[in-house]
Structure 1
Amino acid sequence: MPTPFMRASGLLPLMATALSAAAQQVPETQQEHVLPAITVTVNKQSQALERVPASVSVFDGEALEANGVRGLDGVAAMTPSFTFQSMGQSGAQPPVMRGLSANVTSFSSSTALVVDGVATLRGLGFDDALLGVERVEVLRGPQSTLYGRNAEAGVVNIVTRRPGNAPYASVSLDLGSRNKQALRFDASRALVENTLFLGVAGEFARQDGFIDNTHTGRKEDDRERKGGRVALRWTPSAQTDATLRFSQREYDDGGALWGPTGGTREAVRSGTESWNRSKARSVSLDVAHELTADLRLRSITASNEYFDRIQQDSDFQPADLLHLGRDYHFKTLSQELRLEGRAGEARWLAGLYVDGDDNVLNFEQKTPLALARTRSTLKGNSTAVFTHWDVPLAARWSVQAGLRVERDALRFALAGGSEQSRNWTHASPKLALQYQWQPAAQLYASVSDGFRAGGFNAFAPETQRRYEPEKVRAFELGAKGQLLNRRVRYSTAVYRMDIDDMQVQQMGAVPGQVFMTNAASARSTGAEAELRWLVGGGWQVQAAVGLNHTRFREFRDGASDHAGKRNPFAPDLNGHLGVRYDAPSGWFAQAQVVGVGKVYVDAANTPANRRAGYGVVNLAAGYTWTRTELTAYVNNAADRHYDVVGFPASTITIYSPPREAGLRLSFRL
C-alpha cells in the first residue's frame, strides 16, 4: 500500500524537473530559496500554474517517488477537498472531491482520472501506481467542458515522463513491517539519438496482511501488486512527436480489509475463501504535429481496460452463508483530436472526441436461501465537440471561456433478455475572468457546468432500472500567487456548487439489493487554501486545508426525509501540514500530519454508521550521498484506528491499516 509518510514528499515544493531552469535564472547561492516556475497541462494546453483560473495542486513525480507515494491516496492526503471512499479493496476507491462522490454500483465517477490523455471514469480502476511519473495535477471544480461526463467535480491528471536523449535511471527498494518488500525502477534512453527513444518502468510489491482468520490460522488480507509501463517515442522531424504507450497493473490479494461490525477488531472466522485478482491495462498512441508556427494538431488513440475480479466472504463465519463475487470487464476505445493555435494575442483549442464502451458484468451473491448469479452487458458510445479560449482583454485582464456539446448513448441487456437503450445530449459551458493585480499574483472568478452520465441499474428490479444524468453548476472565487521573492507560493478559493437530479443510492426490498436513483438535490459550499514555503536554512513547509459543507436540499427515501443531511463519505474538513529539514551535510528529517473529518456511510447519517474524524502522523529521516538515499520511515506513528463502521447496511467494518515502519534505499542516475 502507498506510504503515507511520504505523502510528506509533497512537502518538496522544489520540482526536480524544474531545477535546471531555475538555476539559469537564480544565482547558485540563492537557488535553494526560490520556488521554480511550474507549467501544467490540465487544461489540455501548456500554461503557467498561476494562469489557470481554478484550484490546482501539483506534485512532482520524482519527489513522490523518493518519498514512497505509491498511489493516489497518497496524493489525496496532500490535496484540499480530495479524499476517497474507503472500500478496503485494491483498485476500488471511488474519489470524493468537494463533497461529490459516486457509488461503485453506478459504474461512474464524480472525478475523472486521466493518464497521458487516457481517461478512467469509474471508481473501479481509479488507481495508479505512479510509475515513471513527471507530475500529478489535481484540478478541482467542474471540468466537463474539456473532459466530458463524470468530470463534474474535477480531474486528476497524471503526466508520465517522456524518454529523450538524456539517459535516466532510478531504482528503489523498500523493506518494512509485515514482511513488506517492494522493488521499483524507471529507466529511459535514446535508441537512435534525436529520433527514437525508449522508457520502461516497473514494480513488484507484496506485504503480509494484518487481519487474523481464526478459522484457518492464516492472515486474511495479504497484498501483492506488480505492473509496468513502456513508452516508445519517435520524433522523425522537429514538427512531429509520436509516443506509443503500454501499461499494466495486476493485483493478487487476499480478502478485503473487512470484518463484522461489533466483532473482535482485525479478526474473522471465514471459511469461504476471499481474493482479489483484478487487472488494469491500457494502450495508447499519442501523436503531436506542428502544422505551422501557430497551429498544432494532437491525436490520442487509446484502449483502456479494467478486469474487476473478486470473491469476498461477508458473513465472516466458517459456513458459507453470505458472500459476493464480481467478474466485470470494462473496455473503452477512444479517439480524441485537438487543434490548438493563436488568433492575435488569444490562444484557442478545438477538439473532437468519440469513444465506445463494451462492459460485461457478472455478479454473484450468496444468501442463506440461494446462490444468485446475474449476467448483463452495458454498452455505450459518446461523441463530443469542444472548444476553449484564453483571451487577453487589457494589460491586467483576461477571460477564459469554453463549451462542450456531448451526446451519450447507452444500451443494456440482461442475459437472455431484450436490450434497452437511452441517450442524452448535454452542453457544458465554462467562463472565467482573471485580474493580474500584481506581477506574481492574480484574482479570478468562474462559473462552470458539469455532469455525470445517467445509466442503468444492472442488478435492480425493472421498475428501478434507469436513472438520469446528474447536473452541477459551480461558482468560484480565488486568488493565487507568490510572495517573499518567490519563496512562498499560495492559493485560496471559495466555491458553491448546486447539484440537481442528484444520483443517490437506495436500498431494494431484497437484502443487499441497491440501486441508483435521481431522488435528491444538494448544495456544496467550501473554501480551500494551500501554501508552500521555502523558509531558508534548509527548512521547508507545505500546508493545505479544505473546508466543505455538502448537504441534501431534498432527498426522500421512502418514508425518510434526508433534507439537511450530509452526502455519504463527504468530510467537512481535510488538511495536512508537513515540515522538512535538509542539513548541509546530507541528512534530512521530515514530519507530516494528515487529518480528515468524520464521514457518514449512509444518507440517513446514522450515528453508528460512520468513520470518525482522525489525524495521523508520518515521520521520516535519512541521509543522501551522491546519487543514493537511505530513508527510515514510520507511517501512522501513533497507530491510530479510523475504521469505516457499518458498511453496507450496518453489517461490515472496513479496517484502517496499522502502523508501518520501514527502510527505503533509492538510487538515481
Structure 2
Amino acid sequence: MTSLRLCPDLPRALGALTLAGLGPLAQAQDPTAPPSVLPAITVTAHKQAQRIEAVAASVTVHDGELLDADGVDRLETLEQITPGLSFQPFGQAGVHSAVMRGVSAQFFSFSSSTLLLVDGVPTLMAQGFEDGLLGVERVEVLRGPQSTLYGRNAEAGVINIQTRQPGNTPRSAVSAGLSSRSGRSLRMELSRPLVQDTLYASFAGDWSRQDGFIDNLETGRRADDRRREQQKLALRWTPDSRTDATLRYARQAFDDGAALWGSPSARRATVRSGTPSWNRSSGDTASLNLARELGGSLSLHSVTAYNLYRDRVQQDTDFEPADRLHIARDHRFRSLSQELRIEDRDARAPWLLGLYADRDNHDLLNVQQMAATSLRSPATLQGHGMALFANGSLPLTARWTLQAGARVERHAIEFQPRGQDRQSTRSTPVSPRLALQYQPGAATALHASLSRGVRAGGFNVFVPAAGYAAYAPEKLQSLELGVKGTLANQRLRYSASLYRMRMDDMQVQQMPQPGLVYITNAARGHATGAELELDWLLGEGWQLQSGMALNRTRLDRFRDGSAVYDGHRNPFAPDASGHLVLRHDAAAGWHVQAQLYATGKVHLDAANRYSRPGYGLLNLQAGQRLGRFEIGAYVRNAADRRYDAVGYQNGNVTVYSPPREFGLRLDWRI
C-alpha cells in the first residue's frame, strides 16, 4: 500500500510546493482533469522488481518525485506518513534510532533494530542513520523482520531508499526556500547524458541553515542553530543492452549548535550553559552497483560499498555556566561491504541466491567531563561477517503461491580498549522466512508469513567497571496476516495487516548515572498490533489518504537488580499513531492540502517513570503553478503543539520539540 500516489504528470508534480512531512497526493495526468485511477506500483522489497500486490509483506512506498516536490528533506519526517514507524526523540541531527512496530534499539549498542539502505549501502547503527532524501526515486518501508534478505539489524524492518538513475532524459531542477527563524535552503538537481545511450551523469545538492529556538541565557545567543549540506554524484555506464553499472558518491555534513536538550527543572527552551556544545559530524559513502544479464531470465547483481561516518559531538549535560559536566564523542565508523547475487526473473517462479560479506573498523573516543575529573575512553571495535541467503516463489495453484527464504550469517566482533586485552565474540544466526499468498482475484491479495529477525550483539564499550561485558544478539519471531488490493475501479487502494511478535534476549539499557550506559540481555517481550492504509480518489480533484497503527509492546520479563519491570511498556513504543491527509487540486493550477498526524504517549525508560506525551500535529499548505515555476506556502505544527520528552537520559534531560514554522518555497523545473 502506498501512502504517496505515484504521479504520471511529472512536471506538475515537480512543481507542487508542499509541506515537508506531508505525503503529497496525486496530480492528474491531464493538468485540467482529475486522475481517474490510482497507478500501478512496482517495488524491489525482496530485491526483485514486483508489483506491490505480489509482495507477501507489509510495504509502504513513497514516490521520490512527490517527496521532493513536497519539501520532505528529513528522514524522521517519514514517521508522519508511514504507519508503524517512529523515531526515538534524541535531538541531534545525523543520529536517529528508528522504532518499527514497537521494537527499538539503544544508541550506544552501535546496532539498529531497523536497517537503513541507500542504493544498496547499509547503515547498521543510529550514528549516520540519516538521508536528506535528495534526488530520490522512491522510498520503500518494509515492516516486519527482513533479516532473511537484508541480514542482521533488519530485525524489525527496512527503510530502503533508491536514488534516481541518470539516463538519456535531461533533468534540471532548482528549489529555494525561506522559513521561520531565518531559515533558508537551496536544493538543486542536474542530470545529463554524456554519451547518448552509453554514459550519463547526475549531481544533486542541498544546503540549508536555520537559527535555533533554545535561548542560552549565559551567552545571550541561541544554543541550537542548524546548518546542513548534502551532495550526491552518480556516473552510469551502459556499454551494451546487457550491462548496467553505476558509480555513486554521497556526502552529508552538519555544523550545528547544541542538541535540543535542556534541564527538566529549567524554564522551557532555555539553558544557562557556559560549555560550548556542537555537532560537527559528517558522512561519506561510495558504491558501485553492477547488473549483468546472463541470458534468458538470469542476471547477476553486485553491490560494493564503503561507508565512513564521523560522529563528532560535544554536549553540556548540566546546562550550567561552569563546565562541570559534559560529554563528547569523536567516533570514526568505517564499513566495507560486498553483495553478490544471481537471480532468475521467471514470471512463474522467480528466485535468487546471494552471498554477502562485510568488515567494520571503528575508532571510538568517548569523553565524560565530571566535577573533579575527565574520563577519556579510547577503543577500537572491529567486526566481520559473511552470509549466504536465498529466496524464491513457487506457484502452488493459479491462486496460491508459496514464498520461502533463509539466511545463514557468521558474524564476529573484536573489541579492544586502549592498553588492555582484546575481547571477541561470535554468533551464527539463522533467519528463515515462509509466506503463503492467496489471490482470489486480480485486485486482491492475502498473505500469511512466519519470519525471524536478528539484531547483532556487541560489547559495553564504555563501561570498564563491568569489564566491558559482552551481550548476545537479540532475536525476534513474527507471525503476520495481511490483505491488500484495490476497489471502486482502482480509485481506492487499501492495505491491512495483523501481527504478533516475540522478542528473546532483548538488549535492554540501564543507566545508573548520566553518560554511563550498560546493556544486557536481561529481558524478553512481545508485540501485538494492526496497521491500515487507504488511498482514495474522491473525484473532482479531491483525494484522501490515511494510515493507522495500533501496537502493544510489553516486557514479559525484566529484572534490573531489585526492580521488576514485568508488564511494562517497551521504551519509545507508542500504542497508537496515525495520519490523515486531504488535498484538492484545481484545474487552474492551484492546490490546498491539510494533514493531521497524531501519536500516543511513549515512555523513555523501562521503569516507565519518564515519558513524552501523546500529541497531534496539524500541517497546512497551498501552492500555485505558474508555467515552469511554482510558488507555495506552508505552516508546520500550525497549532504550535509542544511534545517535549521530559526525563530522557534517566531523568536528567528534556528533549525539546520544535515550535511552529512558516515557510515559502519557489520551484523551477526544466
Taking structure 2 as the reference length, the TM-score comes to 0.96
Distance in 2 (alpha carbons) for counterparts of 1:455 and 1:226: 32
Q: Tell me the residue number matched to 2:653.
A: 652
- What does 1:248-259 align with in structure 2 at a 5 Å threshold? 248-259=251-262
Residue 649 of structure 2 aligns to a residue whose secondary structure is coil
Q: 1:246 to 1:226 in 2, by over 3 A?
A: same
Q: Tell me the residue number matched to 1:498.
A: 502
- What does 1:189-228 align with in structure 2 at a 5 Å threshold? 189-228=192-231
Deviations 1:108-157 (A, max 9, x none): 00000000111001011111000100000000000000011000100000
Distance in 1 (alpha carbons) for counterparts of 2:467 and 2:369: 23
Instruction: Look up the equivalent residue of 1:405 and give its one-letter code.
Output: V
8 Å contact from structure 2 (residues 20, 73) kept in 1? no
Q: Tell me the residue number matched to 2:443.
A: 440
Q: Tell me the residue number matched to 2:19.
A: 6
Q: Tell me the residue number matched to 1:643.
A: 644
Structure 1 residue runs without a partner (length 5+): none
Instruction: Look up the equivalent residue of 1:257 and give its one-letter code.
Output: L
Q: Is 1:525 aligned to residue 493 of structure 2? A: no
Q: Tell me the residue number matched to 1:544.
A: 547
Q: Tell me the residue number matched to 1:619.
A: 620
Q: Is 1:64 aligned to residue 67 of structure 2? A: yes
Structure 1 runs, 4 residues or longer, greater than 4 Å off:
27-31
Distance in 2 (alpha carbons) for counterparts of 1:88 and 1:412: 28
C-alpha displacement at 1:507, in angstroms? 2.6
Structure 2 residue runs without a partner (length 5+): 1-16
C-alpha displacement at 1:76, in angstroms? 1.6
Residue 473 of structure 1 aligns to a residue whose secondary structure is strand
Instruction: Look up the equivalent residue of 1:611 and give its one-letter code.
Output: R
Residue 65 of structure 1 aligns to a residue whose secondary structure is helix
Instruction: Look up the equivalent residue of 2:244 and give its one-letter code.
Output: D
Q: Tell me the residue number matched to 1:106.
A: 109
Q: Tell me the residue number matched to 1:590.
A: 593
C-alpha displacement at 1:342, in angstroms? 4.8
Distance in 2 (alpha carbons) for counterparts of 1:534 and 1:85: 34
- What does 1:67-466 align with in structure 2 at a 5 Å threshold? 67-342=70-345, 345-460=348-463, 461-463=465-467, 465-466=469-470
Distance in 1 (alpha carbons) for counterparts of 2:333 and 2:470: 20
Residue 19 of structure 2 aligns to a residue whose secondary structure is helix
Q: 1:456 to 1:261 in 2, by over 3 A?
A: same
Residue 125 of structure 1 aligns to a residue whose secondary structure is coil
C-alpha displacement at 1:189, in angstroms? 0.9
Identity of aligned residues (%): 54
Distance in 1 (alpha carbons) for counterparts of 2:119 and 2:22: 22
Q: Tell me the residue number matched to 1:471.
A: 475
Residue 603 of structure 1 aligns to a residue whose secondary structure is coil
RMSD, matched Cα: 1.5
Q: 1:617 to 1:120 in 2, by over 3 A?
A: same
8 Å contact from structure 2 (residues 26, 35) kept in 1? no
Distance in 1 (alpha carbons) for counterparts of 2:577 and 2:165: 33
C-alpha displacement at 1:625, in angstroms? 2.4
Deviations 1:571-615 (A, max 9, x none): 101111011101111111000011110001110001xx1100000
Residue 35 of structure 2 aligns to a residue whose secondary structure is helix
Residue 648 of structure 1 aligns to a residue whose secondary structure is helix
Q: Tell me the residue number matched to 1:482.
A: 486
Q: Tell me the residue number matched to 2:666.
A: 665
Distance in 1 (alpha carbons) for counterparts of 2:186 and 2:310: 24
Q: 1:632 to 1:395 in 2, by over 3 A?
A: same
Distance in 2 (alpha carbons) for counterparts of 1:626 and 1:30: 17
C-alpha displacement at 1:29, in angstroms? 8.9
Distance in 2 (alpha carbons) for counterparts of 1:544 and 1:505: 31
Q: 1:511 to 1:621 in 2, by over 3 A?
A: closer
8 Å contact from structure 1 (residues 356, 379) kept in 2? yes
C-alpha displacement at 1:7, in angstroms? 4.8
Residue 219 of structure 2 aligns to a residue whose secondary structure is coil
Residue 239 of structure 2 aligns to a residue whose secondary structure is strand
Distance in 1 (alpha carbons) for counterparts of 2:504 and 2:594: 42
Instruction: Look up the equivalent residue of 2:388 and give its one-letter code.
Output: V
Residue 237 of structure 1 aligns to a residue whose secondary structure is coil
Q: Is 1:39 aligned to residue 49 of structure 2? A: no
8 Å contact from structure 1 (residues 611, 645) kept in 2? yes
8 Å contact from structure 2 (residues 18, 633) kept in 1? no
Query: Size of the alignment, in residue pairs?
Result: 653
Distance in 1 (alpha carbons) for counterparts of 2:323 and 2:113: 35
8 Å contact from structure 1 (residues 640, 658) kept in 2? yes
Distance in 2 (alpha carbons) for counterparts of 1:514 and 1:344: 51
Taking structure 1 as the reference length, the TM-score comes to 0.96
Distance in 2 (alpha carbons) for counterparts of 1:643 and 1:218: 21
Residue 650 of structure 2 aligns to a residue whose secondary structure is coil
Residue 649 of structure 1 aligns to a residue whose secondary structure is helix
